[in-house]
Structure 1
């Protein structure tokens, strides 16, 4: 009961724009960077001096967000990050639900940058109309929340690895976005590959499965690159007032409004995941809760899903990642 209560009423954030160190010289990618959590995160990183790529499908929306972020820049008299000069904001065109767009986006980034300090796999979709599919015919939430970010991450691994090698103290990280549904709604044992091959008619079930899939991918990446100095984590950013709920019945946001928080709080969860000095690569694959803290007691059945059968687990996460690998292979 205590954990569930804290998911709805988290303790105060400990890392915000007010105490985030300067990010001058660092480079970031934030998918879904022109709205919600992504917008708030880009704003904070820009004010702290970072070079931020807003990745998304709409250049018009991205440019509008960039201008708004620049206009919001606090004066030196009241800015918590006034010691930092503003960074840069750059649009990166990509549609996570169309795997064909992802390699061109990664190639464009790699042609312009020699480092990447944090990749924020922030963008996502929830409860689109029943039957919605991606350009490649996958259930839309699985494609957007899992396949697209997985492919983008794998294509950017060379620059992430190079950054970690050249700057051991730079805390290179990949942050994946989960949800409260991971704790509260995931069926016993977690989703299997069959749940993605044959999606449910219930879009909320498919959303929950995709969010658990994000944790599976975060854990797999941690095993893949943790020894090279890259920390991969999954996080529940919190219950927020964002456009993520645009596809659910209009009454639902109204009913849950008393327990929804500003998107800025979700950015605080993400900041802690990306910059907390309390975390090391040994924490790879762990799950972060709002507004920045390690999950104290993840569900045992989900921990078993993250373990291989040889190690006494169910191997569900390994089978899921293999399924994702097979679906992105031709687009790498």
Structure 2
């Protein structure tokens, strides 16, 4: 069961011990979940559809999206879902996906879940280093394109998925595309710090504009998902048999996402993660990032660079 503890700063309440069982009925609401055919995105989409929401599944593969929806309907036969073709590594695809979503009667929550982790150095369709391009710039562009639609929703929210990796992250403004040097982990951590800088700057701008939209973030702790596909095979083979001892399942890893997206009394600027073992596992609660994630000047600088790189100007 979800517990609530007093928030000393605002006198409100914060979420603690949140699991899938605490997601209230979502009938009448529309969620757009990116990366919804597997892992955390699939688990969130499945649960939200089961609670009565209309769920738009943003996926690169039509085949995988159809398989995911069939699996969900095998459990929830009345699930209301739609596939939205989306490749966060391609600004043209992002704009096309946003146009499809804008055609929907409503949009209440955007769950920016999709991402990549630790590939060899690659570039997106637009020439961006892939981890920064997909994890941050793709999320930044999609969010900006859908902000107007979200403003018309009921209790609208933007959820941005970060990671504990942000703790070691540093935004390399002098080599933003990793043209001079590339580290798989370093660039992943940079993209995840970028996600949090984005969320907190978006929250500040939404508050200043008196917008009804709340921008929040989450991280899954250590979850057993397809993101680990780029880990060394020897590590995966060694730790897979005992992974349940120190990792969330994909369903458990989705609890912070669900808390951020569908928890009651969630406010802009909140950040959710697991509650146990140093935020590795367990039910979701509000957590705190490293102070650098809330720094205003780097956030503004990253925002300006992101608008220039993506060509997406926010209405706030």
TM over 0.5: yes
The structure in which a higher percent of residues are strand is 2
Question: How many angstroms does 1:278 deviate by?
Answer: 4.0
What CA deviation, in whole Å up to 9, does each residue of 1:102-149 have, x standing for no partner? 1111111212x13211100000000112x2110111100111101111
Q: Structure 1 stretches of 5 or more lacking a match? A: 1-11, 75-85, 164-169, 308-314
Aligned counterpart for 2:155 among listed residues 154, 164, 171: 171
Q: Give the C-alpha shift of residue 253 in structure 1.
A: 3.0
Q: Distance in 1 between matches of 2:197 and 2:82?
A: 30
SS at match of 2:215: strand
Alignment correspondent of 1:101: 93
Where do residues 153-168 of structure 1 align in structure 2 (5 Å cutoff)?
153-163=143-153
Residue 208 (structure 1) aligns with: 189
Q: Give secondary structure in 2 for the equivalent of 1:289.
A: strand
CA-to-aligned-CA distance 1:200-224 (integer Å, 9 cap, x gap): 4211100000000000111122122
Q: TM-score, normalised by structure 1?
A: 0.80
Q: CA deviation at 1:198?
A: 3.2
Alignment of 1:81-230 (within 5 A): 86-111=78-103, 113-129=104-120, 131-163=121-153, 170-183=154-167, 185-186=168-169, 190-198=170-178, 200-226=181-207, 227-230=210-213
Contact 2:19 2:284 in 1 (8 A): no
Q: CA deviation at 1:56?
A: 1.2
**Residues 1:201 and 1:270: Cα distance change in structure 2 (over 3 Å):** same
How many residues are aligned here? Answer: 285
Task: Give the match for residue 4 of structure 1.
Answer: none
**Partner SS for 2:191:** helix
**1:48 pairs with 2:57:** no
- 1: CA distance, partners of 2:109 / 2:293: 26
Q: Quote the offset at 1:323 in angstroms.
A: 0.7
> Shift in Å at residue 259 of structure 1?
1.5
> Which runs of 5 or more structure 2 residues have no equivalent in the other structure?
1-14, 275-282
> How has the CA–CA distance of structure 1 residues 302 and 94 changed in structure 2, closer, same or farther, with 3 Å as cutoff?
closer
Q: TM-score, normalised by structure 2?
A: 0.84
Q: After TM superposition, give the deviation of residue 301 of structure 1 in Å.
A: 3.7
* Distance in 1, Cα, partners of 2:140 & 2:49: 25
**SS in structure 2 of the partner of residue 162 of structure 1:** coil
Instruction: Tell me how far apart the structure 1 counterparts of residues 184 and 29 of structure 2 sit (CA, whole Å).
Output: 38
Q: Provide the residue aligned with 1:311 in structure 2.
A: none
CA RMSD of aligned residues (A): 2.1
* Conserved? CA contact 1:114–1:159, under 8 Å: no
Instruction: Report the Cα distance in structure 2 between the residues aligned to 1:123 and 1:211, rounded to whole angstroms.
Output: 12
